[in-house]
Chain A
Amino acid sequence: MLGRAANGVYWMNRYLERAENTARLIDVGFHLALTRGNKESADEEWKSVLTTTGQVEAYSAAHDDFSGPQVFNYLLRDKDNPGSVLQMVENARTNARVVRTSITNSVWEATNEGWMTLRDLLSRPVRESNLGEVLSTIRRQSMLVRGALEGTMLRNEVFNFARIGTFIERADNTARILDVKYYVLLPSVAWVGSSLDNVQWETLLRSVAGNRAFTWLNPGSMDPKEIARFLILDGQFPRSLVFCYEKIRSNMAGLAKEYGHEVSAHELLRDAGARLHQISIDEIFEGGLHEFLQDVIGKTVEIGNAIAADYRFIE
């Protein structure tokens, strides 16, 4: 396949994943802000959402306060925000148009319909009363594309690049959320947390859609170390770092098999993957959770760049 097409499929899926993750962060921010008694701490939650998505500076340049509707409209649909959900869905769709000949009609139609639906839905300011509907629509549209991909695509290079894009983005997302919130977990590793901490931890889990899964695996407990272990090292949880890296590994292995040889990204991935598999949660905390996460984020970027270069995404 063309290098440009590989690039298109990869980014189409990264953008969709990112749009979905942003929607989930907004959902959590909304939830938290509602449970806060006063406006100051509610605003603080919204600011924290912007910090997690890395948009707090751009936002502050244009706005003075962090009131909920202003923040979530900025994140969802602001024309001046190149990282808005609407823009990401549009980017995904533009990439899908570029690779029209590589994806199935079902995948294209799901992507195009998702874009049309969200463009209409986000053509007017979102209010608190319809925020829930908007967020669940974003998640649903992203899932429809993933479902179409899963159900209709040949398991070939195109599929592998699509999945690699999804899991690179997801690994990056989980690591960043954890990193922004690590201080919530850190001071309390040694003692049983207060109820406030419990809420914070649950929020952390919710923002990666892991609250229910965690509860199933750890009935009745909310242990910070266990939460960190779950999000980093749990091989069953589809948003944990280990899980994402395992998926990237298997899709990269698919490419090596199809092309008959490995590239430099395979080597990088093997090293990073081995480290994730061998390390224990205690060792992570000993070395510093923040340092560990920064390392993972850096490695993930490095691997993404190597894939782009090795497979000739651009000239």
Chain B
Amino acid sequence: MTAASTTNFDEMLNGDGSVRPAYSDFCEWYNSQDTAWLKRQDAEAERFFRRIGITFNVYGEEAAEERLIPFDMIPRIITAREWRKLTRGIEQRVRALNAFLQDLYHRQEIIRSGRLPVQALRNNDAFLAQMIGFTPPGGVYTHIVGIDLVRTGPDEFMVLEDNARTPSGVSYMLENRETMMAMFPELFTKIPVRSVSDYPRRLARSLRACAPPAYKGGKRPVVAVLTPGIYNSAYFEHAFLADQMGAELVEGSDLRVIDGRVAMRTTTGYKAIDVIYRRVDDDYLDPLTFNPNSVLGVAGIMDVYRAGGITIANAPGTGIADDKAIYSYMPEIVEFYTGEKPILNNVPTWRCSEPDALAYVLDNLADLVVKEVHGSGGYGMLIGPTSSKKEIAAFEAKLRAKPENYIAQPTLSLSTVPIFTNAGLAPRHVDLRPFVLVSPDGIDITPGGLTRVALKKGSLVVNSSQGGGTKDTWVLDE
């Protein structure tokens, strides 16, 4: 086993190379395995994933229409104590997000109080005027949230991003676990790992609990997953979740509005849907209300929604809460709505729209990470320390031209977890996305999540579209 780098926190090894308690059982098992056999298992994992068709499509890469997200077989392990603190922090944050959305689309107390400048909403495409004054069924805006966390020390988990629109990746949480259990069943008899497999049932229950006023009881509410179709990068996940929930997987072309309900075309006629878990963006949801060229959505669904005929999960307009410009205000937002100090910290963030912040960012570009306010997926960002002078100069020009489009953060010293390589274990940077379900019955966090890992040595970019991989995430039982 190689010693961990001294500059960042390694989750498996102490600075002196000894194994931390969370990993002790695993390491004991690992060290007793035959290396050649492990290598074979590693190769086998890829074949397994290809066969079951867990692939994602990369935008703009036609040749590689379906690519595999590399899977690393060394688990990422979180202790029961760490998880308890995380869940408290996540729950607090998600409660605040929903209260914030309710407020933004109604009285806007937070703006009246001066805690959030009105500029944060102005000209922000994520804020949907159509949602003003409307309360979604059950008062839930973000039915499914993926909170991206990074770790910088033994007790230092920070929120990097709140994914409140349509967070993806949960199918990897489930399939990674399936794969690990198939490859190394004995590990799960030795180590008390909490199960994640009932996530789809929890999701179905949570969605059904948000049925709209038009649902009159009787049979269970009808749930459907709305996908853009098989060419979408997350299609596998859409199909997987629909399948596991026993819900219909629908496309825009299957749906139309009939008698004030959104209905799907079945072999025997149109059938009303109560709750739609949509995996299309707000802009494509309703050509009558938003992008008129959209063929992915349903004409008239917003009218049905506002009249109580359907529940849309997540609610349209939730994107305003995970906007990067809003992110920097999250500590204030959490405190404003919960009356408590945030349990999970934000990453310090400079808003380039503010002259002082911009000046600082321009002076320190080489040390900072600069992100587009509306970007996602690791595109359009600058990672100062690993960029060339030329790249930095080019980015500086873009930043000066439109500073309000950017925020900047310090380059975090992300924690590492080892990955399996042919030369043995090697530390790589990771993040963590736990999945959170919200319904009128409460907030439900599945003990686990998606650990993304930067497979390139030293790289801090964990996005699958940029060469990142995934790991099974273990939360240990008490």
> Do these two chains interact?
yes
A45 at the interface (CB under 8 A from B): no
Q: Does residue A301 face the partner (Cβ distance < 8 Å to B)?
A: no
Size range of the chain A interface in the assembly: 20 to 34
Q: Are the CB atoms of B265 and A315 closer together than 8 Å?
A: yes
Q: How far is the CA of A1 from the CA of B247 in the complex (A)?
A: 11
- What 1/0 flags go to A1-40 for Cβ under 8 Å of B? 1111110000000000000000000000000000000000
Output the nearest chain B residue to A157 by Cβ-Cβ distance: B267
List the A side residues contacting B50 at CB < 8 Å.
Answer: 116
**A-chain residues with CB within 8 Å of residue B53 when the two chains form the complex:** 97, 108-109, 112
Contacts of A97 in B (CB 8 A): 53, 230, 235, 239
Contact A312 B52 (CB under 8 A): no
B254 at the interface (CB under 8 A from A): yes
A312 to B266, CA, bound (A): 7
Interface size on B, residues (CB 8 A): 22
For B243, the chain A residues whose CB sits under 8 A away are 100-101
**A60 at the B interface (CB under 8 A):** no
Indicate if A216 sits at the interface (CB-CB under 8 A).
no
CA distance A13 to B118 in the complex (A): 57
Cα of A211 to Cα of B61 in the assembled complex, Å: 48
Main secondary structure of the interface of B (DSSP, over half): mixed
A2 and B267 contact, CB distance less than 8 A:
yes
Of A157, A259, A312, the contact of B265 (CB 8 Å cutoff)? A312
Among residues of B, the one whose C-beta sits closest to the C-beta of A104 is B243
B249 x A100 contact (CB < 8 A): yes
The residue from B51, B230, B242, B254 contacting A109, defined by CB atoms under 8 A apart: B51
Residue from the list B51, B239, B242, B254 in contact with A4, Cβ < 8 A = B254
A311 sits at the interface (CB 8 A): yes
B267 touching A311, Cβ below 8 Å: yes
Nearest-CB residue, chain A, relative to B268: A259
Closest to A113 in B: B51
Say whether chain A's binding surface is mostly helix, strand, loop, or mixed.
Answer: helix
User: How long is the Cα–Cα vector from A94 to B230 in the complex, in angstroms?
Assistant: 8
Q: Once bound together, how far apart are the Cα atoms of A3 and B267, in whole Å?
A: 5
Given the known A-B contacts A101-B242, A113-B51, A312-B266, are A2 and B230 also in contact in the complex, defined by CB atoms under 8 Å? no
Residues of chain A lying within 8 A (CB to CB) of residue B52: 105, 108-109, 112
Name B250's contact: one of A2, A94, A112, A255 (CB within 8 Å): A2
Residue in B closest to A111 when the chains form the complex, CB atoms: B53
Contact with A3, one of B51, B249, B266 (Cβ below 8 angstroms) = B266
User: For the complex, what is the distance from the CA of A4 to the CA of B265, rounded to whole Å?
Assistant: 8
Please give, as numbers and ranges, the residues of chain A lying within 8 Å of B235 by CB-CB distance.
Answer: 97
For the complex, give the distance between the alpha carbons of A100 and B51 in Å.
Answer: 14
* 0/1 interface trace, chain A 274-315, chain B, CB 8 Å (1 if under): 000000000000000000000000000000000000011001
Residues of B within 8 A of A4 (CB): 251, 253-254, 265
The verdict on B303 contacting chain A, using a C-beta distance below 8 Å, is no
Closest residue to B247 on the A side, CB-wise?
A: A101
Q: Which residue of A lies closest to B244 (CB)?
A: A101
CB of A100 within 8 A of CB of B265, answer no
Kindly state whether residue A180 has any CB partner on chain B within 8 Å.
Answer: no
Specify which of B51, B239, B251, B253 is in contact with A112 (CB 8 Å cutoff). B51
Q: Which of A97, A108, A113 lies at the interface centre, i.e. has the most chain B CB atoms within 10 A of its CB?
A: A97
Q: Does A98 contact B (CB under 8 A)?
A: yes
Residues of B within 8 A of A5 (CB): 249
Specify which of A97, A101, A255, A259 lies most central, judged by the most chain B CB atoms within 10 Å of its CB. Answer: A101
Looking at B230, B242, B254, B267, the one whose CB has the most chain A CB atoms below 10 A away is B267
Contacts A97-B230, A101-B239, A108-B53 given; does A259 touch B249 at CB 8 Å: no
Measured between beta carbons, the chain A residues less than 8 angstroms from B268 are 259, 311
| A157 to B253 CA separation, bound complex (whole angstroms) | 21
Please give the residue numbers on chain A whose beta carbons come within 8 Å of chain B beta carbons, in ascending order: 1-6, 94, 97-98, 100-101, 105, 108-109, 112-113, 116, 157, 255, 259, 311-312, 315
Q: Which 7 A-B pairs have the closest CB atoms?
A: A100-B239, A311-B267, A101-B243, A101-B249, A3-B265, A101-B242, A97-B230
Q: Can you show 18 pairs from A to B with CB atoms below 8 A apart?
A: A1-B248, A2-B254, A2-B265, A2-B266, A2-B267, A3-B254, A3-B266, A4-B251, A4-B265, A100-B240, A101-B243, A105-B52, A112-B52, A259-B267, A259-B268, A311-B267, A312-B269, A315-B253
Question: With contacts A1-B267, A2-B266, A100-B243 known, what are 17 further pairs, Cβ within 8 A?
Answer: A1-B248, A2-B248, A2-B254, A2-B264, A2-B265, A2-B267, A3-B265, A4-B251, A6-B267, A97-B53, A97-B235, A101-B243, A108-B53, A112-B52, A112-B53, A157-B267, A312-B266
